[in-house]
Chain A
Amino acid sequence: NAGVMQNPRHLVRRRGQEARLRCSPMKGHSHVYWYRQLPEEGLKFMVYLQKENIIDESGMPKERFSAEFPKEGPSILRIQQVVRGDSAAYFCASSPAEETQYFGPGTRLLVL
C-alpha cells in the first residue's frame, strides 16, 4: 500500500506567480489535511477536506489560498500571487476516517 504522495517535492516560484501543490492520499483514505511548516518550527494546520467538501479551513489565510479535493484525482492546495513569506514546507496528511493521520514527504516551496 503506497503511502501519501505529494508532488512536486520542490517548487520554485517568483513573486506574483501561482503555486499548485498536489496530494494523493493513501488508498482507502477519504480525509485529507494540509499543514505548513516554517524552518525549525512545528506544523501548523491549514485545512481539512473530505471528498468534494471542505470541513475546516480555519487555518488557511482568507486570501490567495484555496484547497480542493475532487471526487476524482488528488487534493490540490493552490496559492495565488505568491509572496516570499509563503516559502515553507507544505505537508499533506491522510486518514481513513477521523483517525491517525499519515503524512506525505512534503513540498518545499521557495519564492524568489
Chain B
Amino acid sequence: GENVEQHPSTLSVQEGDSAVIKCTYSDSASNYFPWYKQELGKGPQLIIDIRSNVGEKKDQRIAVTLNKTAKHFSLHITETQPEDSAVYFCAASHTGNQFYFGTGTSLTVIP
C-alpha cells in the first residue's frame, strides 16, 4: 500500500516568515494530494489540494508543489500569521480510494 512520510514534525517560525512542509509518497498510482489543517479539538479542514496533472497550485498565501518523478509534494505558507498555528497533514490517494495521511506537522507562528 501507499506510505506517506511528512517532515518536519514540528516547525516554529516568526510571524511574517514563510513555512514549508514536505511530504513524500511511495505509490506511483496516487494522483490526488490534499492538505489539511487541524486545530485543537477540531476535525481536519481542507486548505488546498493538487492533482497529478498539475505541478503547482496557489491560493492566496498558500501554495502546493508536486514533483511526480521524485514522488514528493510540499506546502508553502507565506507571510505567516498567528492564526496559521495548527497541525498540518498531507495525504495521498488514488482518486476515490482511502486517503493515506502523513504523521502531521505542528506549526507554531511566533508573534
Contact = CB atoms under 8 A, between A and B. Distances in A.
Interface of A: 4, 6, 31, 33, 35, 40-45, 48, 56, 58-59, 91, 93, 98-106
B43 A106 contact: yes
A93 to B, nearest CB: 8
The DSSP consensus for interface residues of chain B is loop
Given A42-B6, A45-B99, A106-B43, 9 more contacts: A31-B96, A42-B89, A45-B100, A93-B99, A101-B46, A103-B44, A105-B42, A105-B43, A106-B42
Interface of B: 6, 34, 36, 42-46, 49, 89, 95-104
Given A99-B95, A100-B46, A43 B34 contact: no
24 contacts: A31-B96, A33-B98, A33-B99, A35-B99, A41-B103, A42-B89, A42-B101, A42-B103, A42-B104, A43-B44, A43-B99, A44-B101, A45-B98, A56-B98, A58-B98, A98-B95, A99-B96, A100-B49, A101-B34, A102-B46, A103-B43, A103-B44, A103-B45, A106-B43
